Amino acid sequence: MKKQAELYAGKAKTVYTTDDPDKLILHFRNDTSAFDGEKVARLERKGMVNNVFNAFIMQKLEAAGIPTHFIERISDEESVVKRLDMLPIECVVRNISAGSLCKRLGVEEGRDLEPPIFEFFLKNDELHDPMINDYHIITFRWATEQEIARMKELTFQVNTVLKQLFADAGLLLVDYKLEFGRFGGELVLGDEFTPDGCRLWDAETRRKLDKDRFRQGLGGVVEAYEEVAHRLGIELPD
């Protein structure tokens, strides 16, 4: 399989077409951004760490019966995935209050959320990813009612699998964002699952080990991602 043209350069990954129309190559770059691209930086090793991390998580999810786009990791910073027709929607599940939820509702950070909260956001940087609900999605034809139900079902299945996986490593899965796309007739988990798109806290000390270290200028961003990988037993290249 050969890498061909650059299809899309996002804030953290570049997407390439290949000679197989059903496959793309995702290049995880060292770039990071927050606040809709307002704060940016290059972080050594981040692309590699996220690529290896994502491969590990996607394989765990696939093994648990969740359909993902992941095919294989082909280099330190690149993976082959199924080409999906992405829905312009972000699915967020929250187990503990943090981030935009706290700002929006005036809730203090760190409250256990039982049952967990599910939220949809429109993927649109210019509009700052506004929160939307099922009615917006159906009326504006961003997805069907059946797809909405499936996104919720799969996103909660991911929660069951990953909450336990991280708990076994002494970590709390605070919240996370997933993106889905169509492949043939089915919805498939796309994009990535890395500490860039979730919140992970040390279970004992509640130390932040995710992108909030970058957002909040706490330092040690990639070191924290590597610590999470290490605790999960993921082997990272030197």
Containing 56, the helix (H) or strand (E) segment is helix 46-63
**Smallest distance from ligand UDP to CB 99, Å:** 2
Q: Can you name the residues that pair with 201 across neighbouring β-strands?
A: 172, 208
Counting contacts by CB under 6 A, is residue 129 touching ligand UDP? Answer: yes
Residue 197 sits at the vertex; the CA angle it makes with 175 and 158, to the nearest 5 degrees, is: 55
Which residue among 25, 61, 198, 224 contacts ligand UDP (CB under 6 A)?
A: 198
- Does residue 92 interact with ligand UDP by CB under 6 A? yes
- When asked if residue 229 is in the footprint of ligand UDP (CB under 6 A), the reply is no
Q: In residues, how long is the chain? A: 238
- Judged by CB under 6 A, which stretch of 15-23, 68-76, 159-167, 172-180 contacts ligand UDP? 172-180
CA 118 to chain centre: 15
Question: Which does residue 48 touch among ligand ADP, ligand UDP, none (CB within 5 to 8 A, set by kind)?
Answer: none
Work out how close the CB of 217 gets to ligand UDP at its nearest, in angstroms, rounded to a whole number.
14
Nearest 5°: CA angle at 169, between 167 and 173? 45
HSE-CB at 116 with a 13 A cutoff on CA atoms is: 20
181: partner contacted, choices ligand ADP, ligand UDP, none (Cβ within 5-8 A by kind): ligand ADP
